[in-house]
Amino acid sequence: MIAQLISIGNELTGGQTVDTNSPWLAQQLASLGVRCVRHVSIADELEPIRDAIVEASRAADVVLITGGLGPTPDDLTREALATAMGVPLRLHTPSLIHIEEYFKRRGRTMHPANRQQAMIPEGANAIENPHGTAPGISARLSRAAVFCMPGVPYEMKEMWQRGVRPELETGAGRLVQERILRTFGMSESEVGERIGDLMRRDRNPTVGTSAAELIISIRIVAEADHAEACQGMIDADATEIRKRLGDVVYGEADETLATAVGRLLIERRQTISTAESCTGGLIAKRLTDVSGSSGYMLQGFVTYSNEAKSRLLGVPSELIATQGAVSRETAEAMAEQCRRASGTDYAIAVTGIAGPTGGTPEKPVGLVFVALASAGKTIVKELRLGDNLRREQVRDRTAKAALNLLRLSLIRTC
């Protein structure tokens, strides 16, 4: 079976909102063995929506539509579907009762415009919406089963789970499962070179890579008649990829460098503190974004000025005067003094030039020093991130490099 996805809304085509529904639905379809071949975004205009529905229904077995089911004049999905089907809209009384009760439970009066949300094409079925006013719609058109769902993500997801997925499960094809490995510290081209033979398109599983702000993701997708076969193929490829890439692989699925670090610190019952200049507390934020981080993250300093580095951390002002605030020596002193002040097993320190101003020929924008202090040892890494990055990119990449330095140190001292 193949599917097409249609997202409705001027906010999508105008760029004010990013469509997150389609990627999520495509993943859900894949888990059912339904291959998604196209995503389309359409403005709130009747004829383009109708034409997109007609075209998709002729080409696919399943058409999923999100958005355009609200109570305002620009919510045209139900009318466009009825026009595509060549039928009128009819009032669905159970849906109207649901909408009226929705407002009554909240002590509000239903606006007359909400009545249009209970209108569905003749011959179609309504799909209950437990979290909102707009019912979904299911219908047949040409070769396709068509499902219309709200654009609000949490309403859409609940409707999918309750009203759409069960309908598709009985007719779905072979099972498709996937796993995503996350890597840091190696370019996408080098990753591709090391696992190139696993990325052939004639293989099952298929393996592909994607890059986003230095994180290289490796997606393994297997297809089989049952879950055990899929899992076996994915496990074999994941093991081989980890073998070839080693410590570059830091986690799976939605795991971040901060969650990977947190897991290692908890396992080792060790603690961390931070002293940040150019990142302005970003590293501490990412560490504490993780639930349970109070078990290992004890303290953080944001010492942006030279005076703060000396007053709060005890970095000698003479050292800063002679070597500069952005220097290997200052980063080392920041890390060691931070660890001493916090009483932690490890301390991270960063100092650099985030830009776009402040650089010199000797110390350009993008120059950063990252230091990691532990008992009896301090490691300092010099980063040359380049002067073509935005300020937030320099800060982001510095934070990732610092967390990865800690992660590797934890792994290699186990």
The count of other CB atoms within 10 Å of the CB of residue 357 is 8
DSSP 268-287: HT--EEEEESTTTTHHHHHH
pLDDT in tens, 80-138: 999 999 999 999 999 999 999 999 999 999 999 999 999 999 999 999 998 889 899 99
CATH T-level fold of 257-412: Maf protein (3.90.950)
Closest-CA residue to 297 (of 349, 257, 351, 342):
342
* 309 vs 262: CA distance, rounded Å: 26
Predicted local distance difference test score (pLDDT) of residue 169: 82
Overall average pLDDT of the 192-217 stretch: 94
- The string of pLDDT tens digits covering residues 136-168 is 999 999 999 999 999 999 999 999 999 999 998
Residue ranges in 111-187 assigned as alpha helix (H)? 153-159, 165-169
pLDDT-derived band at 187 (thresholds 50, 70, 90) equals very high
DSSP state, residue 85: H
Cα(363)–Cα(366) distance, integer angstroms:
8
Residues 167 and 132: their CA atoms lie apart, in Å, by 21
Q: What is the pLDDT of residues 376-403, one digit of tens each?
A: 899 999 999 998 999 999 999 999 999 9
Q: 2-169 domain in CATH 3.40.980.10?
A: yes
pTM of this structure: 0.76
Listed in sequence order, the residues at least 6 apart from 50 whose beta carbon sits closer than 8 Å to its beta carbon are 80, 81, 83, 84
pLDDT band at 224 (very low <50, low <70, confident <90, very high): confident
Q: What is the pLDDT of residue 407?
A: 98
Boundaries of CATH 3.40.980.10 in the chain? 2-169
Give tens-digit pLDDT for 18-28.
Answer: 999 999 999 89
Average pLDDT over residues 356-368: 95
Q: Where in the chain is the domain with CATH 3.90.950.20?
A: 257-412
Q: Which CATH number does the domain 175-252 belong to among 3.30.70.2860, 3.30.950.10, 3.40.50.2300, 3.30.70.360?
A: 3.30.70.2860
Percent of the chain scored above 90 by pLDDT?
90
Residue 205, preceding peptide bond in cis (omega within 30° of 0)? yes
Q: With left for phi above 0 and alpha for psi between -120 and 50, is residue 324 left, alpha or beta?
A: left
